Structure 1
Amino acid sequence: MAKNTLQSTLPVIERSLEFFRPHHLELRKRLITVFLTIIVFTGIAYFFAEKIAAFFISPLFAASPLVYKLVYTNLPEAFLAFIKLALMVGLIASMPVVLYQLWIFIAPGLRKNEKKLAVIIVFWATLLFSGGACFAFFVALPRMLVYFMSYAGPGLEPLPKLGLYLTFIARTILAFGIAFEIPFLMVMAGKANFVTAAYFRRKRIYFYMAIVVLSFLLTAGDFVATGLMAIPLFLLYEAGIFLSGLFNRKKVSGTPA
Structure 2
Amino acid sequence: MSTAQETFISHLVELRDRLLRAMLAVLVVFLCLMPWASDVYDLLAQPMMRTLPQGTHMIATGVVTPFFVPVKVTMLAAFVIALPVVLYQAWAFVAPGLYAHERRLGLPLVLGSTILFLLGVAFCYFFVFGTVFKFIAQFAPKSITPAPDIEQYLSFVMTMFLAFGLTFEVPVAVILLVKTGVVSIAKLVEARPYVIVGAFIVAAVITPPDVVSQLLLAVPMCLLYEAGIIIARLISKDRESSTDEALERIESK
TM range (shorter): 0.7 to 0.9
* Counterpart in the other structure of 2:235: 247
- How far did 1:136 drift? 0.7
* Counterpart in the other structure of 1:132: 120
Provide, for residues 70-107 of structure 1, a one-character-per-residue CA deviation record: whole Å limited to 9, x for no partner: 11122111222123212333444455566663798499
* Counterpart in the other structure of 1:13: none
Match of 2:205 among 217, 226, 229: 217
Structure 1 range deviating more: 69-78 or 167-176: 167-176
Change (3 A) 1:155 1:227: same
**Cα RMSD after superposing both structures:** 3.7
Aligned-residue identity in percent: 26
Could you state the TM-score of these two structures normalised by the residue count of structure 1?
0.73
5+ residue gaps, structure 2, are 248-253
- How far did 1:154 drift? 4.2
2:90 counterpart of 1:109: no
Change (3 A) 1:190 1:83: farther
Cα distance in 1 between the residues matched to 2:92 and 2:198: 25
Change (3 A) 1:119 1:28: same
Change (3 A) 1:34 1:210: farther
* Counterpart in the other structure of 1:180: 168
Does structure 1 conserve the Cα–Cα contact (< 8 Å) formed by 2:52 and 2:146? no
The number of aligned residues is: 241
2:151 counterpart of 1:155: no
- Specify the SS of the correspondent of 2:209: coil
Matched letter for residue 224 of structure 2: L
2:130 counterpart of 1:142: yes
Matched letter for residue 109 of structure 1: L
Does structure 1 conserve the Cα–Cα contact (< 8 Å) formed by 2:132 and 2:213? yes
5+ residue gaps, structure 1, are 1-16
Does structure 1 conserve the Cα–Cα contact (< 8 Å) formed by 2:195 and 2:222? no
Structure 1 range deviating more: 71-80 or 193-202: 193-202
Could you state the TM-score of these two structures normalised by the residue count of structure 2?
0.74
Matched letter for residue 76 of structure 2: M
Provide, for residues 193-237 of structure 1, a one-character-per-residue CA deviation record: whole Å limited to 9, x for no partner: 444433422322222222112222332122112222222221111
